[in-house]
Structure 1
Amino acid sequence: MQKDAWKNDRAYRDIVDDLLQQPAVQELANYTQHHHSDRLTHSIMVSYWSYRLGLRLGLNATALARAGILHDLFYYDWRDTKFELGTHAFIHPRVSLRNAEKITSLSEMEKDIILKHMWGSTWAMPHYWESLLLNLVDDETAVMDFFNPVLDSFKALKTLHWINRES
């Protein structure tokens, strides 16, 4: 799926544009997420991929899209900030939920998706299939955020190798 495919998906945009226009959400662009991505881009990718999979699986795609935008709605660098009450994996879903509730109303499912998106790193079991799906998409997106620049370098080297071979 293309990185910017979400921009031309009118149905998806109708669901999330009100959130994307919020200054609190736009602020996420100022925070690095998984070394090679900003938090806003990461959140949009998690949201859109979850939304598309949710449509295919007959799940609540609206809840997936909206909770995906809001699942990492926190404003600190998780590599530097430490908490006495627990790890970043435990704390940030609660911070994100509190911040999300300040800017929009949330369904019980959306709350669960946000709170449980770190299942596996925490013991908070998802109550909905949607929560599990977004959790898995978030993990996959984090891996791709981290490794895409490395993969792009290998692709560039491979291309260079073929160019030099043909010379």
Structure 2
Amino acid sequence: MTEPKWKQDLEYVALIEDLLECEEVKKLNDYTQHHFTTRLDHSISVSYISYCIAKKHNLDARATARAGLLHDLFYYDWRTTKFDEGTHAYVHPRMACENAKKLTELSDLECDIIIKHMWLATVALPKYKESYIVTFVDKYCAVKEVAVPLTGKMRSSVKNAWARLKPAAVQ
């Protein structure tokens, strides 16, 4: 099996490797994010794609990579846990930011990226271009993480159903 592209990008890895070594970040591997992926894999995808976009546009690639990795740093199943303070879309970015501050120093930019990454589901506008990048990449990754596996399952189901419908002589 080929190594993921992000692992081959040594410049990117150098920016986040200290975070990947933290037990609190590793623990994200224990949580399912979008049915078919772990929260850690989702966070790495958001981080790496966002980093590539920020780098291409001469933005703060370091802050984008690190905040992208930490944007979902929370430890509950968002499908079942409810909060009095508001919806999951409102609560988890603030929780993630507080958890991230326990691991590393965060700039105002990194805090904005983490807290505002749920814009469109929440009303607070991102302040920085990097925040918009992570916001939209997060949505892209979420859709891809659900749609790609479902498409494969649907394709397989259709293929099996078609095979059962074909007359025996045609097979």
**Global fold match (TM > 0.5):** yes
Cα distance in 2 between the residues matched to 1:155 and 1:18: 40
Q: What's 1:88 paired with?
A: 88
Give ranges in structure 1 of 5+ residues lacking alignment: none
- With 143-152 and 97-106 compared, the bigger mean Cα shift is at 143-152
Query: How far does residue 153 in structure 1 lie from its aligned partner after superposition?
Result: 3.1
**2:63 aligned with 1:38, yes or no?**
no
Residue by residue over 1:11-37, the C-alpha shift from the partner in whole angstroms, topping out at 9 and shown as x without a partner, is 000000000000000000000001111
Query: How far does residue 158 in structure 1 lie from its aligned partner after superposition?
Result: 8.5
Query: How far does residue 57 in structure 1 lie from its aligned partner after superposition?
Result: 1.5
Q: What code does the residue aligned with 1:61 have?
A: A
Q: What's 1:71 paired with?
A: 71
How many residue pairs align between the two structures?
A: 164
| Residue pair 1:93, 1:115 contacting (<8 A) in 2 also | yes
Normalised by the size of structure 1, how large is the TM-score? 0.91
Cα distance in 2 between the residues matched to 1:48 and 1:34: 18
Query: How far does residue 82 in structure 1 lie from its aligned partner after superposition?
Result: 0.2
Q: What code does the residue aligned with 1:106 have?
A: L
Give ranges in structure 2 of 5+ residues lacking alignment: none
Cα distance in 2 between the residues matched to 1:158 and 1:32: 27
Q: Which runs of 4+ in 1 moved over 6 A?
A: 157-161
Q: What's 2:52 paired with?
A: 52
Q: What's 1:99 paired with?
A: 99
Query: How far does residue 152 in structure 1 lie from its aligned partner after superposition?
Result: 2.5
Normalised by the size of structure 2, how large is the TM-score? 0.89
- The 3-state SS of whatever aligns with 1:130 is helix
Q: What's 1:143 paired with?
A: 143
Larger Rg: 2
Q: What code does the residue aligned with 2:93 have?
A: P
